[in-house]
């Protein structure tokens, strides 16, 4: 099995050392080199042919964002994982990096313990590297030729039967993880200001980053996009993004529907978790809801989609071809829950047809 070739780019010798030690401990990863600035990264990318680059943002000579733009233009197949500080500025620049094509990000360790820092890098960075570049197992050459077999035609993947859109829908709930900021920037800004229902979004991100994601989408969109706050009424034409490290639910208060935030236990190792949002939507809206599971690692959203499906909700999954990581949507599709499996570029029009034209072609 081949190893994944990784280049580390950071102006801090300590950070380069921490990442190097974390990666060298994994037998599936080959550290091919390090660089201390963006210019050096571009030069070494040509010479060392990495499959993944970990990229700092603030560096001398050439910063990470400038380097990212050049790398994606020169070497579009290289996956870039940003290494960001857990600050408002770091969050803002990371959100921009994700919109420019970075695969994902990891926050820099804040602890002074070297062993704890290495442990956290192993836990957070290595799974993202392996998701960015799935390993390929080379076929073993048999000692003697195998007998020929008749050719077998693989059955085509069964198309998802498209369920007719009937009845009134009053909310859109979206769950998304890796690749989410870019996906959301292809959906939310394309919806008109008069969009008649609220949109509730869980994006797996830490605090500060969700606020910056909301701010960026708000700048790009006709709809009002905000990081959700407890007690705020859920109304039409607004987009609510769950804050990092808090679960988001919609609850009834009399005749009103409002946002409820809490720090219950993580689900699927996530807080906020898509399942928590989906269950609350099923309880409050039932079948009058549309749930979307977009690009992301893992299976968060699967259990919630089951509850929504039982309540009569319409379930939509992003297709494999346009997903950065086909994990969360795959789980929903393979469980037979998806009423529609759509490429990313078709989702804005799909939503407009449901809520503005009351039909789907």
Write out pLDDT tens, residues 252-288: 999 999 999 999 999 999 999 999 999 999 999 999 9
pLDDT at 135: 56
Do 213 and 138 form a contact (C-beta atoms < 8 A)?
no
Report the 10 Å Cβ neighbour count for 307: 17
State the catalytic residues: 177, 204, 300
Average pLDDT, the chain: 90
* Matching residue, tokens 């020929």: 148
Task: Dump pLDDT digits (tens) for 51-109.
Answer: 999 999 999 999 999 999 999 999 999 999 999 988 888 899 999 999 999 999 999 88
Q: What is the pLDDT of residue 139?
A: 39
Q: Which pLDDT does position 137 carry in this prediction?
A: 39
Domain boundaries, the chain: 4-132, 171-355
Which pLDDT belongs to residue 302? 98
Assign domain 4-132 to its CATH superfamily: Response regulator (3.40.50.2300)
Q: Do domains 4-132 and 171-355 have the same CATH topology?
A: yes
DSSP assignment of 246-308: SEEEEEEETTEEEEEEE-PPPBTTBSS-HHHHHHHHHHHHTTSEEEEE-SBSS-TTHHHHHHH
Give me the residues of the chain with pLDDT under 70, please. Answer: 111, 135-167, 358-361
Q: From the CB of residue 168, how many other CB atoms can be counted at a distance below 10 Å?
A: 9
For residue 360, the model assigns a pLDDT of 54
The burial class, CB within 10 Å (0-12 / 13-18 / 19+), for 290 is: buried
Query: pLDDT digit string (tens) for 142-152?
Result: 333 434 433 33
Domain 171-355 has CATH 3.40.50.180: yes
Buried b (16+ CB within 10 A) or exposed e, 211-234: bbbbbbbbeebebebbbbeeeeeb
The predicted pLDDT at position 357 comes to 76
pLDDT for the residue numbered 124? 92
């Amino acid at each position: 099995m081949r190893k994944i070739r990784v280049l580390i780019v950071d102006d801090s010798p300590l950070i380069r050392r921490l990442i190097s030690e974390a990666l060298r401990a994994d037998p599936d990863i080959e550290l091919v080199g390090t660089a201390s600035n963006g210019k050096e990264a571009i030069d070494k990318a040509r010479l060392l042919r990495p499959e993944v680059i970990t990229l700092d943002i603030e560096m001398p000579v050439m910063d990470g964002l400038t380097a990212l733009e050049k790398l994606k233009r020169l070497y579009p197949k290289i996956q870039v994982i940003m290494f960001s500080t857990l600050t408002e500025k770091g969050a803002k620049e990371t959100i921009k990096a994700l919109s420019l094509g970075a695969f994902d990000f990891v926050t820099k360790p804040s602890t002074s313990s070297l062993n704890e820092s290495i442990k956290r890098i192993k836990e957070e960075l290595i799974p993202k590297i392996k998701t960015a570049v799935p390993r390929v197992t080379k076929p073993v050459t048999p000692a003697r030729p195998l007998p020929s077999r008749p050719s077998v035609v693989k059955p085509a993947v069964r198309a998802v039967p498209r369920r007719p859109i009937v009845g009134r829908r009053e909310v859109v709930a979206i769950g998304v993880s890796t690749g989410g900021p870019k996906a959301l920037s292809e959906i939310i800004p394309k919806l008109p200001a008069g969009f008649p229902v609220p949109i509730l979004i869980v994006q797996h991100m830490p605090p500060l980053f969700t606020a910056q994601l909301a701010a960026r989408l708000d700048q790009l969109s006709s709809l009002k996009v905000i990081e959700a706050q407890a007690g705020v009424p859920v109304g039409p034409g607004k987009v609510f993004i769950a804050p990092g490290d808090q679960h988001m639910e919609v609850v009834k208060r009399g005749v009103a529907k409002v946002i409820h935030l809490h720090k219950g236990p993580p689900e699927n190792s996530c807080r906020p978790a898509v399942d928590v949002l989906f269950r609350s939507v099923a309880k409050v809206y039932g079948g009058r809801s549309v749930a979307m599971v977009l690009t992301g690692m893992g299976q968060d959203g699967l259990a919630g989609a089951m509850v929504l499906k039982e309540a009569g909700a319409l379930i939509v999954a992003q297709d494999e071809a346009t997903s950065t990581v086909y994990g969360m949507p795959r789980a929903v599709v393979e469980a037979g829950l998806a009423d529609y499996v759509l490429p990313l570029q078709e989702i804005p029009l799909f939503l407009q047809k449901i809520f503005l034209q009351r039909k789907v072609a």
